[in-house]
Amino acid sequence: MLLTLSGVLSPTDLEEARSLIGTLGWRDGTETAGGTARAVKRNQQADLTSRTGAQLRQLLKPKLERHPVIRAAAQPRQFSKLIISRTGEGGGYGHHVDNPFMGAGESRLRTDFSFTLFLSDPDTYDGGELEIELAGMTQSVKLPAGDLVLYPSTTLHRVAPVSDGMRLACVGWIESSVPDAAVREILFDLENLRSSLAGRLDLQSPEMLVLSKSISNLTRRFGQS
């Protein structure tokens, strides 16, 4: 399942995020890459350990964790720490697959979904498309600032080389409470159906009650607490 979501950040959110990012320090992006990915990663990552970094996380994290489509599609159990990446001219991130597990201790999670929240307007840099390999085809994604793409962490993907300008993005991973991708897709379809019917049927109607019961029981059967 690959989804693109518009307007995850408002123009005001973007302005504030960019202002905060402008004051951050940067380090080599290979510090957080796995062994194979390290050889093809050519970008920088923001140091978010400062007070400004904490402010940026506090701005972005709720926008992601509370987004209704992300919640319906990914059934999140846990979000990773956010990463802010900066890719300038000549940079990029060659083909790789994300590590199956990330973090340590209580923050350790299985990577079921990856996401990229675009922070640069697409006309301010050339190249830098996120290219995702899906079932014999390549999906190329370069979205307006404030939009997000959510996709399976199991896929091969890359960030195409940037030939001009600067690409800013927020990236992270989600562990789903429903490990089975096929069940997640069924639940997502049912959630979309419930949302559609809510405008036409009373929430206490027999149809809505049975639909809500089915969603709850499927989640109970296949989910993890």
Averaged pLDDT, 142-154: 98
Residue 187 neighbours by CB under 8 Å, 6+ apart: 72, 75, 178, 215, 218, 219
**C-alpha–C-alpha distance, residues 161 and 139, integer Å:** 16
Residue found by looking up tokens 């905060």 in the block: 20
DSSP string, 200-221: TS-TTSHHHHHHHHHHHHHHHH
For residues 188-210, b (16+ Cβ closer than 10 Å) or e, as one string? bebbeebeeeeeeeeeeeeebee
Query: How confident is the model at residue 110, as a pLDDT?
Result: 98
Residue 37 has a pLDDT of 75
Per-residue pLDDT band at 106 (split at 50, 70, 90): confident
Give, for 150, the enclosing helix (H) or strand (E): strand 148-152
Say which residue, 19 or 106, is predicted with more confidence: 19
pLDDT value at residue 135: 86
The pLDDT score that the predictor gives to residue 34 is 67
Joined tokens for residue 134? 């899906």
pLDDT in tens, 21-55: 999 999 998 877 766 778 899 999 999 999 999 99
Domain locations in the chain as residue ranges: 3-176, 181-222
Q: pLDDT, tens digit, for every residue of 39-95?
A: 899 999 999 999 999 999 999 999 999 999 999 999 999 999 999 999 999 999 999
Predicted confidence band of residue 107 (pLDDT cuts 50, 70, 90): confident
Choose between 30 and 185: higher pLDDT.
185
Q: What is the mean pLDDT of residues 183-206?
A: 96
| The domain defined by 3-176 carries CATH number 2.60.120.620 | yes
Predicted pLDDT of residue 35: 67
Per-residue pLDDT for 17 more than 80? yes
